[in-house]
Homo-oligomer: A and B are copies of this chain.
Amino acid sequence: MTASSDTNALAIAIVGVGKIARDQHIPALARDPRFQLAATASRSGGVQGVETFETLGALLAARPDIPAVSLCMPPVPRFAAAREAIAAGRHVMLEKPPGASLAEVFRLEALARQAGVTLFASWHSRAAAGVAPAREWLAGRRPKRIRIDWKEDVRKWHPGQAWIWEPGGLGVFDPGINALSILTEICPVPLHLTASTLTFPENRATPIAADLTFTDGDGLDATAGFDWRQEGGDIWQMEIDTDAGQLRLLDGGARLFIDGQETTLDDTGEYPTLYRQFGQLIAEGRSDVDAAPLIHVADAFMLGRHLRGDPFHD
């Protein structure tokens, strides 16, 4: 992996070189002429050919020439890192969820505004190929029934990741918030949660399954089922019946069906799209911080009935 040598490219650093950085961020940056991966901060190894620092603080001090950082760490340590980078005058891109708490997300938004830097709280599923066309199709239609199923095998997607089971790790809402990020992006009417049932493995602090009910206050029937105990194939789908036809998103938003007919989509990939958006936001001097998906998650915890389930062992 070598960084782009385009001299007009914006130097960017990645903080936290774990699974998501290696699977998504680094390949996306390698193919993007707008950015040049100029450094990393990581305790678990860096990227070949790219300067690596032990800490974000060391990176910020040594490389004032790098104007942007992308934070690829779990939610709990993210606030301190984002705050440090913003205080050093850098533009910041965050993985979802944008924080371990809502209060810290609103605080980061205010800090970025005061510092005059771009903060991009990214929701990668919103960059799935079907999402923008779905939003366009739904605009002007009236949803009557929404059914979301987001079911995957946690052992396959989060092998040995202890932080997902600790407070702030969100449990099954780590994938479920992807569905909520799509829903809040495409649904033409605002929804709020009315009921939630969360199942916690008796040896874990976060839920392994969640059943949610939303309303628009006008009789719209919206439900979501998130489950990490799925075996035999992931299900990431959303079905919306409207007053003028039915929309279905499959494969996490990558495939779109209108009235049963699959739509041809232009797929540039989620993370390449996110970095294009980050570049645009920096160029326009704007931020994009939408806490709506995390608000629904916090509401689901606050309004939830909590059930104890079987213990979970990796």
Contacts and interface: CB of A to CB of B under 8 A. Distances in A.
Interface stretch (A59-67, A234-242, A256-264, A298-306): A298-306
Copies of this chain, complex-wide, total 2
A285 interface: no
Contacts of A302: 101-102, 168, 170, 297-298, 301-302
A49 interface: no
Contact of A303 (B100, B292, B303): B100
Contacts of A101: 192-194, 299, 302-303
A295 B106 contact: yes
B102 A295 contact: yes
Contact of A217 (B80, B110, B205, B305): B80
How many A residues are at the interface, by size bracket? 35 or more
A103 B295 contact: yes
A303 B168 contact: yes
Nearest to A105: B192
Interface in A173-212: 190-196, 200, 205
A79 interface: yes
Contact of A205 (B106, B194, B296, B305): B305
A302 B107 CA distance: 17
Interface in A102-150: 102-104, 106-107, 110
A296 B205 CA distance: 19
A255 interface: no
Contacts of A196: 167
Interface in A79-113: 79-80, 83, 100-104, 106-107, 110
A195 B101 CA distance: 10
